[in-house]
Every structure is written in C-alpha cells, then in structure tokens.
Amino acid sequence: MIAPSENRFPTMRPLSRPAVKRARARTLIAHLVLLAWSGGFPLMGAFAAETPRDPAPPPYPDHTRLLVVRDAQGNERPVKTAADWEIRRGHILAHLQEVMEPLPGKERRVAVDVRVSETHQERGYTRQKISFASEPGDRVPAWLLVPDGGNGDAKKRRPAMLR
C-alpha cells in the first residue's frame, strides 16, 4: 500500500486549476481517441468534422447508455444507423461543452503523434511510457498497459489501459 503522502509519479508536478481543467479535457479526448483507434467505440469520425450545434440537446438522465438517442420530445430509441449516431454524438458533445468549455477549434488540432519512450515487460502485460500531441506545442505523458497475447492468438482483441 502506498502512503498518501508518497508521490507515486515523481516526475509530475502539482497543477494549477486551469491546468487541471485542461488535463481533464485532454484525458477525456485521449480516451476517446484511443477507444476509436482500438475500434472499441463507434466514434465514426468524431473529430473529423464540426458537430452541428442544436439549440438545446435533450437531457439524458443515464449517461452510461451511449447507444440511446432522444428526440425533441424526450422519447428514447436505440442508435441503429450512422445518422442516429451523428445525432447522439452531437448531443454528447453539446453536453460535454456545457460542463467543461467549448472544444478547441480546428486551428488547435494536431495529429495524435504517439511516441513510445520506454517499454517494460511485466508479468502478464507490457507497460509502455508514451506521449501524444494534444495541441500545438503540447504533449501529454501517459502509461499504456497492454496485456500479453496469451494462447498464441496475437490478433485477438483484449482490453488495454491508459493511465
């Protein structure tokens, strides 16, 4: 067990409030990008085009049900088509921007540019120290934990973790 006062990440420094807000947004975006990259989440070009802005998206009481879309009257239906997903995606982004702040425009978008700086083989998984570009002139450090192949099937999908 690690003592609360012990710094588990000695290379990291405390962040100011605006930096924490940016870091949370970057972490969310990083998770969405990695999920889309791994094929685990149907983003379907989430960052490729601007989202049409609806005046007020309908409320979604259960935020875990991503594959349900609501119409203007609040009636729910499952997401079945790409058009349904685009509507739901617009609602998700609108609600995210209500809570955080507007997403950066195209002028601040950059290629992800993932770089692996260290690789450590652990028991049952590989730990990689990576960084990726989040905006011009800024990189986000992270640990990527990738489970070992197991049973000799290297193409089988398995969960990974970004920390």
User: What digits encode the pLDDT tens for the residues 77-131?
Assistant: 999 999 999 999 989 888 888 888 887 788 888 888 999 999 999 988 889 999 9
Per DSSP bridges, beta strands 125-135 and 76-78 are: unpaired
Domains and CATH numbers, the chain: 17-39+110-162 (3.10.450)
Whether residue 133 has pLDDT greater than 70 = yes
Predicted TM-score of the model (pTM) = 0.42
Largest CA distance in the chain: 53
